[in-house]
Structure 1
């Protein structure tokens, strides 16, 4: 195995709910694990608090070096404090929306920390507070946040004037820790398996707090498709440990019929196919030539660093070229867009340079 695969395998053994605990303990005691590589990759993939939580749950923290124990505990405590603050913000936003009869459901990390699926609220790192709202009520929800002290998280660019995103402009407040995105769509590319109307219709309410979150089926599907489509997991053929951990947490709560339904979507199949390389907890999808090819390409990228680098670069250039061609055509046919682009040309130049 390549050094990266060894590191990912070690991390997955810590995160998994099906790891043989005795062998894991022996490997830690015998210094088989390269903790420097594990912390580096864990930081990059935002699973340091999760590693701490799983090691604690498995009663293995005591076998780590003292300085490493303290570091992991420090990161976990910081994240738990932040998540508690985010949860209070979630409750507050929900109360504002309920007063105005705005239908809503929290998504992704906000939904996960509001749920009871984790052993501890601190084990999941989250970024924004994402909220799905019926399209007809999105502007009203946006205005409610503005009225309560939120403003643009960054200066708006020209794109929203001409190209529809899946959410309204990102908002933030000096009084609260989390930025907020009001969604009317879930994915950059629509999928039959995850329609916004169905997610809203099948939402569940968390006991005591009454916070609305998606059903476990929709939470799991969105977790995977958000990574595969919005974060380009399928396009670049790579994995996300945080994404896989959420899948591990949600799978035991899924009905058997719903689990079988997952393999009707090619993005879900591809995600689970690569996940099986590291996690026995994840069900194996039916084999196919496409999945075999994706596995081989993924393993080659890990084994040969130069191949992985150029694979990513070529795909990045293709993605940028598609964007430039689409925008160039729009530039030629739309006079107002042409004028705005010329006025905003320096920012656009900087954006293109950053992608090259």
Structure 2
């Protein structure tokens, strides 16, 4: 493949034009027809954002694959084929889990990628790259559902002290014996202290069924798509962007006739939409925070500034965590004993962070 140096922003714009449902197709055709695209950089960035199969599917749907180098088309087709087969296997696993939960009257709903696949939100099931199978379960049934999966041959991974003393949004990750997808049983959908913004009980109470599989309603799918990245993945804190998350959001927005205006006014959401505005005309009808978008552009255009601010933000987050754990260390005797026993590992971890 010919390699011509494009800026990071130019490549992001190209990927956005490919994924978008409203950006100009004629403009994209002109870009693809030119000889100034760094295809190696395109593959790297699209892979980092977990949208390489989505790019192939969208180019196919727009009938624009003929403008790509032939060896690249072959590569993208193969990657998408592998991902499509993996998703089919994951959905077979999902059906197995949900059948067991249904028989045991477990109140649950799928989340994130598997929920979107189960709800047939994608034109091609090969579009979405999925990691774990995330399942939200009613609080008083979390341990029961976890035990059921353990009896089905799943094994939990070894946990650190944090899991013993601090409540996470999900129980320890489960690794399957017969299937390919790890499973996370959630008691809530957002990390502390933001769990009240998106209430797990409300999601469960308004869920819908698709072929005996429970998934959130469209509004909750939209809210979780945005807040999972902004809150759980610290997108708001770092003022960053995920093309996979934005693509999920656009897919869901296409199916909504109205959106909760109160939700759209949240700072997390306005910041998310502001950055989406920079690359996708799909977000033009939604108000946003222009300061956050300008900050994103400054960081993107200045590698040194981005590197320094990322380092400072990571350090500040780590210091905040240490202060919180130090207070708990003083307060809780059992925690003190366990920390002292495990001090070598903790010191080694802190050394690697600083």
> Shorter-chain TM-score category?
over 0.9
In structure 2, distance between residues paired with 1:292 and 1:158? 41
Instruction: Give CA deviations for 1:19-41 in whole Å, capped at 9, x if unaligned.
Output: 22222112212223221111111
Bigger mean CA deviation after superposition, 10-19 or 328-337: 328-337
In structure 2, distance between residues paired with 1:137 and 1:283? 42
Q: How does 1:30-109 map to 2 (within 5 A)?
A: 30-109=34-113
The CA deviation at 1:81 is: 0.8
**In the alignment, is the contact (CA less than 8 A) between 1:45 and 1:240 conserved in 2?**
yes
Quote the residue 1:309 is aligned against.
Answer: 307
Residue 352 and residue 99 in structure 1: after superposition, are their counterparts in 2 closer, same or farther (change >3 A)?
Answer: same
Instruction: Give CA deviations for 1:87-114 in whole Å, capped at 9, x if unaligned.
Output: 0010000011111111110000110111
Structure 1 stretches lacking a partner, 5+ long: none
Quote the residue 1:247 is aligned against.
Answer: 249
1:180 is aligned to 2:179: no
In structure 1, distance between residues paired with 2:290 and 2:66? 40
**In the alignment, is the contact (CA less than 8 A) between 1:107 and 1:132 conserved in 2?**
yes
Quote the residue 1:145 is aligned against.
Answer: 149
Bigger mean CA deviation after superposition, 230-239 or 187-196: 187-196
Quote the residue 1:294 is aligned against.
Answer: 292
**In the alignment, is the contact (CA less than 8 A) between 2:273 and 2:287 conserved in 1?**
no
1:113 is aligned to 2:117: yes
Quote the residue 1:355 is aligned against.
Answer: 353
Quote the residue 1:238 is aligned against.
Answer: 240
Quote the residue 2:3 is aligned against.
Answer: none
Quote the residue 2:171 is aligned against.
Answer: 168
**In the alignment, is the contact (CA less than 8 A) between 1:193 and 1:221 conserved in 2?**
no
In structure 1, distance between residues paired with 2:261 and 2:328? 42
Equivalent position SS for 1:130: strand
In structure 2, distance between residues paired with 1:281 and 1:49? 20
The CA deviation at 1:328 is: 1.1
Quote the residue 1:335 is aligned against.
Answer: 333
Quote the residue 1:222 is aligned against.
Answer: 224
Equivalent position SS for 1:212: strand
Equivalent position SS for 1:190: coil
In structure 2, distance between residues paired with 1:336 and 1:192? 29
In structure 2, distance between residues paired with 1:346 and 1:55? 52
Q: TM-score w.r.t. structure 2 length?
A: 0.95
The CA deviation at 1:259 is: 4.8
Instruction: Give CA deviations for 1:126-149 in whole Å, capped at 9, x if unaligned.
Output: 111110111100000000000100
Q: Which of 328, 341, 344 is 2:342 aligned to?
A: 344
Bigger mean CA deviation after superposition, 231-240 or 33-42: 33-42
Q: TM-score w.r.t. structure 1 length?
A: 0.94
Instruction: Give CA deviations for 1:230-267 in whole Å, capped at 9, x if unaligned.
Output: 000000001100000001101021132x2534323211
The CA deviation at 1:284 is: 4.6
Bigger mean CA deviation after superposition, 59-68 or 345-354: 345-354
1:14 is aligned to 2:18: yes
Bigger mean CA deviation after superposition, 298-307 or 334-343: 334-343
In structure 2, distance between residues paired with 1:24 and 1:191? 40
Superposition RMSD in Å: 1.5
In structure 2, distance between residues paired with 1:149 and 1:313? 41
Bigger mean CA deviation after superposition, 187-196 or 271-280: 187-196
